[in-house]
């Protein structure tokens, strides 16, 4: 934990203060009741395929229509907006790994309602250099925390074999090109014939999970279902 994080923990102990507003918190969650009511839950109209929030419920949104993908379907707990964006950023970049507990609490009902079971949990791998820079892989932390809830094993069957440029600012076509050849399956026996749950923090264009799912399917996976903390809603998403 960095000095800044230690100072933050002294003044805003996470077990006593809300993770969003930092005020005194008397709820059983790490987010107070007032802030919880304002979070953008993705529990209204969604696309049945990608799981993004849409203007009305539909089996396939305009982005998903006539697209063949390796991901069987995706679901998320939140829309990627408002306070959730800040929570995800802090979890991903600021070392606030404890937020995985809250995220998993929010993912539980989504999993039980839409998915139900899986043979194993997988996560998007990072290169050794990226892990040294950040200190951890946020996807792996989420996967392990979720595994402790559902008792589904996490299997490390994926490896990122090359560094890639930042995906920020790239459209879908550019992101797919950037990721080409980045991942490989190292343990095909743990993938073949399995229903796999791929857990990640945010679904933006879907290029990363699609690239990973493609490799898992080539290795014999029966299904690849994506579960993320948040997803960019269809109205905010540019799928060019």
Q: Look over the chain and give the mean of its residue pLDDT values, rounded to a whole number.
A: 88
Q: At what angle do helices 99-114 and 138-150 cross, to 10 degrees?
A: 60
Task: Report residue 157 as tokens.
Answer: 């069957």
pLDDT single digits (tens) 133-151: 888 999 999 999 999 989 9
Pick the CATH number of 41-231 from 1.10.357.10, 3.30.565.60, 3.40.50.2020, 3.40.50.620: 3.40.50.2020
Map out the domains of the chain as residue ranges.
Answer: 1-38, 41-231
Query: Residue 198, SS3?
Result: strand
pLDDT computed for residue 196 by the predictor:
98
Here the tokens at position 196 are 């796999």
- Nearest of 194, 184, 204 to residue 224 by alpha carbon: 194
- Cβ neighbours of 15 (radius 10 Å): 8
pTM score over 0.85: yes
More confident residue, 189 or 12: 189
Query: Does residue 206 surpass a pLDDT of 70?
Result: yes
Please give the biggest Cα pair distance in the chain. Answer: 53
Q: Which residue has the tokens 């459209």?
A: 171
* pLDDT tens column, 72-130: 999 999 999 999 999 999 999 999 999 999 999 999 999 999 999 999 999 999 888 88
What distance in Å separates the CA atoms of residue 175 and residue 168, rounded to the nearest whole number?
9
């Amino acid at each position: 934990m960095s000095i800044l994080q230690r100072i933050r923990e002294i003044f805003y102990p996470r077990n006593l203060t809300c993770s969003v507003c930092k005020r005194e918190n008397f709820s059983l969650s790490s987010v107070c009741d007032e802030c919880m009511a304002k979070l953008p839950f993705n529990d209204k109209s969604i696309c049945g395929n990608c799981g993004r929030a849409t203007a009305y419920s539909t089996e396939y949104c305009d982005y998903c229509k006539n697209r063949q993908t390796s991901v069987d379907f995706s679901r998320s707990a939140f829309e990627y907006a408002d306070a959730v964006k800040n929570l995800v950023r802090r979890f991903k970049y600021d070392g606030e790994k404890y937020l995985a507990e809250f995220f998993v609490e929010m993912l539980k009902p989504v999993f039980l309602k839409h998915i139900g079971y899986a043979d194993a949990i997988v996560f998007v791998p990072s290169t050794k250099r990226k892990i040294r820079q950040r200190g951890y892989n946020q996807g792996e932390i989420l996967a392990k925390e979720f595994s402790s809830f559902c008792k589904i094993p996490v299997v490390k069957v994926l490896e990122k074999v090359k560094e890639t440029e930042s995906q920020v600012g790239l459209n879908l076509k550019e992101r797919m090109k950037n990721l080409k050849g980045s991942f490989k399956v190292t343990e095909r026996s743990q993938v073949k014939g399995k229903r796999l749950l791929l857990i990640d923090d945010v679904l933006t264009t879907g290029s990363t999970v699609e690239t990973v799912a493609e490799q898992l399917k080539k290795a014999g996976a029966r299904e690849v279902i994506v579960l993320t903390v948040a997803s960019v809603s269809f109205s905010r998403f540019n799928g060019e």
